[in-house]
Amino acid sequence: MTSLGERVDKKTITHPLNRLTNVKRFCIVKIKETVDKCQVIWSCDMKDIIYELRDMRYLNWAKTRKSSGTGGSFLKAYDDTGKKKKYYKLSDSDPIKGIVGHECVNEIVVQRLLVFLGIEHLEYTLIHALVTVEGKDYETYLCESEDYKNADEGKVSLEDYYAMNKKDSETPLDFCRRMGWAGYVYEMFLIDYLVLNRDRHGANIEILRNTKTKRVRPAPLFDHGLSLVCRCHKMKELDDFDVMEDRKVQAFVGTGSTLVNVRNIPAAFFHDLPKLTESDLDTVFDGLDKIIGREYIVKMRDMIWKRWCSIGRI
């Protein structure tokens, strides 16, 4: 198993390695409807993981703020040389220790849950890559995504859009309901509760505006790296982590508690959701044991399953 931020010598790899072999992407390939339920059947016939090492040392990484308020930094890059602009991000990094986090793996876990739940989201691909950060080479896994805007759309953060269009004393939640985005918010509350997303600040929700028709819509959900057991870098931290603890989170819409937020979802919302089973979680975590330790997978799986089962008691 490769470390998510393993330091390597420059001579160990040749340039370029861009073959798209040995890959997977999850998708729903069949929905079987019966009188009283909808059965979701999973498949791995597309790609969301590229295991083969690719030389991506051509990317230039820029630091972004860590909105959770903790130490370290996230590095992002882009490549606009192809037909479509592509965006890249690394897991949590430290100038001395290198790449120490596993946020990119979290993105894939959450993405697969969103696919299962039928919730629109930004699509990520997890890529085994050789990168250069501040003059040092690292072998790691990074996330790749493409622009989710249509050609005639612009974007603005929900925080800014709310500030420009809210009524007096209107909360962000009430504003979204007035705009007709209640279902979108409930989907967001649900996934953020299941994975304990700590980072749903006002810039991590975007509004897309069609420049021709002036129509506005919420962007697909994105940026779920700061979730699950993202702060557990040592085994003791992982062992001590309480998967059901109601930790304070950043949430522009709703409250700083994912538990309180999910309690604000109307009961009728849950009626049409697919019913998650433990065998579905086998699919959610399929192939990730090659990338991250089994102990982490067990803990993340335990969190999602216990939180899912708790919804009926909330």
Q: How far apart are CA 244 and CA 234, in angstroms?
A: 19
Residues 61 and 19 in one domain: yes
Q: What's the confidence (pLDDT) of residue 314?
A: 75
Residues 87 and 213 in one domain: no
Residues 168 and 259 in one domain: yes
How many domains would you assign to the chain?
2
The enclosing domain of 248 has a CATH number of: 1.10.1070.20
Nearest to 49 by CA among 131, 98, 113, 109: 109
Domain final residue pick, 128, 146, 164: 146
Residues 16 and 136 in one domain: yes
Nearest to 70 by CA among 297, 232, 255: 232
Which domain covers residue 218, as residue numbers? 153-313
Place of tokens 């997890």: 126
Q: What's the confidence (pLDDT) of residue 34?
A: 40
| Percentage of residues of the chain with pLDDT beyond 90 | 75
Residues 100 and 193 in one domain: no
In a 13 Å sphere around the CA of 256, the CA atoms on its Cβ side amount to 5
Task: Confirm if 128 and 121 have CB atoms less than 8 A apart.
Answer: no
- Cross-strand pairs, 115: none
Residues 174 and 45 in one domain: no
Residues 163 and 51 in one domain: no
Q: What's the confidence (pLDDT) of residue 47?
A: 82
Domain final residue pick, 101, 129, 146: 146
Residues 16 and 110 in one domain: yes
Residues 197 and 245 in one domain: yes
Q: How far apart are CA 215 and CA 209, in angstroms?
A: 6
Domain final residue pick, 96, 122, 146: 146
Mean pLDDT by 10 residues, the chain (314 residues): 52 31 46 42 66 97 57 79 92 89 97 96 97 94 94 95 96 98 98 98 96 95 97 95 97 98 96 93 95 97 98 84
Place of tokens 């399929």: 286
Residues 118 and 221 in one domain: no
Residues 75 and 138 in one domain: yes
